[in-house]
Amino acid sequence: MTGKPFFFDLNIADLKEQFKVLNEPPFRAQQLWQAMYVQLEHDAQQITTLSKSLRTKLHESMEFSHLTPIDRLVSSDGETVKTLFRLPDGLSIEAVLMHYDERDTLCISSQAGCAMGCVFCATGQMGFKRNLSSGEIVEQVIYYARELAKENKVVTNIVIMGMGEPFHNYDAVMSAIDRLNDPRGLNLGARRFTISTVGIVPAIRQFASEKRQVNLAISLHAANDALRSMLLPINRRYPLEDLMQACREYVSLTNRRVSFEWALIQGVNDSPTDARELASLIKGLLCHVNIIPLNPTIEYEGKPTTRENAEVFKGILESSGIPCTIRLRRGIDIRAGCGQLASKHQ
């Protein structure tokens, strides 16, 4: 870390203040913003609309990248790309690009490591290192926006579901979303973002009160406190009764549905009884359930459920009137689950 301001940490007002310090007119700040967020330039030196002297000033007074790509894996079907980045302090984070028929979705990180300790998650097994700055969150998107631009494609959706618990880094995550949503830049609509949380109840309530159009996903994985506390230790602090009340408040305040994520683990949470218990827990709530067979990790012995069990699970939910999707497992051959590549390097 050099102590210089990091471009992607700044909103447009902050950037104009930096230009005041440099004795440059504010419209130059707008030119720089446009060049970085729309033209997707890599640094000030490439921006020919700025004078050479200003480019030199900016190069000397501001940082334009905190992420150094150090590893890149592409799945055998070419549909999933995972990149491992080194941060200036030597820590590692990762981000994943997933190609679908009409979408190019990013799964990005909000922390280096994670304090939640979910037993089947590679990031949780690493432990918490530090929060990312808002700019370090933004730059993951910019990196892949540049890559997609080479193919005349754009980022269509962003899930903040990679390394870390987004609601433990609330302010930075929301600032990053605001910057990526800015119509003067990437102009990504709020509904193209999804934040996934293990269930930090006070943050869910704060998020609901702000009435954002950003999608909310809850990593649920169990419908009783005993099993959920075993899989997700945060449940001991915010048990299901409190979590479900916060979800009901979210739906009431925003009129938006909440998504529940359920990693199906063979013999743990994939039985018809588990499905009926889940249906009972969330019946009547405006919601959707995403179920996905577990992505295996080295330190967790659980195995993914079978396709047959997943279909039975889905059928029970749908017969109770609860919309449910079996998500495609992506990038298994490149260990694309959050934290798997970073934990290998660490």
> Can you tell me the distance from the alpha carbon of 207 to that of 168, in angstroms, rounded to the nearest whole number?
12
Contact status, residue 128 vs residue 4, Cβ threshold 8 Å? no
Q: Where are the beta strands (DSSP E) in the chain?
A: 68-74, 80-86, 92-99, 104-107, 111-113, 128-131, 157-160, 193-197, 215-219, 258-264, 287-293, 324-326
Kind of pairing between the strands at 258-264 and 128-131: unpaired
- Three-state secondary structure along 159-220? EECCCCCHHHHHHHHHHHHHHHHCCCCCCCCHHHEEEEECCCHHHHHHHHHHCCCCEEEEEC
> Can you tell me the distance from the alpha carbon of 55 to that of 161, in angstroms, rounded to the nearest whole number?
36
> Can you tell me the distance from the alpha carbon of 103 to that of 80, in angstroms, rounded to the nearest whole number?
12
Using DSSP, state whether 294 is helix, strand or coil. Answer: coil
With CA atoms as reference, report the closest residue to 188 among 215, 163, 227, 226.
215
**Cβ neighbours of residue 193 under 8 Å, at least 6 residues apart?**
157, 158, 159, 160, 177, 180, 181, 214, 215
Using DSSP, state whether 342 is helix, strand or coil. Answer: helix
151 in catalytic set: no
Q: At what angle do helices 26-37 and 12-21 cross, to 10 degrees?
A: 130
Residue 141 structure tokens:
């998107």
Place of tokens 């990437």: 186
121 in catalytic set: no
| Per annotation, catalytic residue among 24, 94, 165, 261 | 94
| Per annotation, catalytic residue among 118, 287, 324, 338 | 338
Residue 42 structure tokens:
């890599």
**Cβ neighbours of residue 276 under 8 Å, at least 6 residues apart?**
316, 320
Catalytic residue annotation = 94, 338
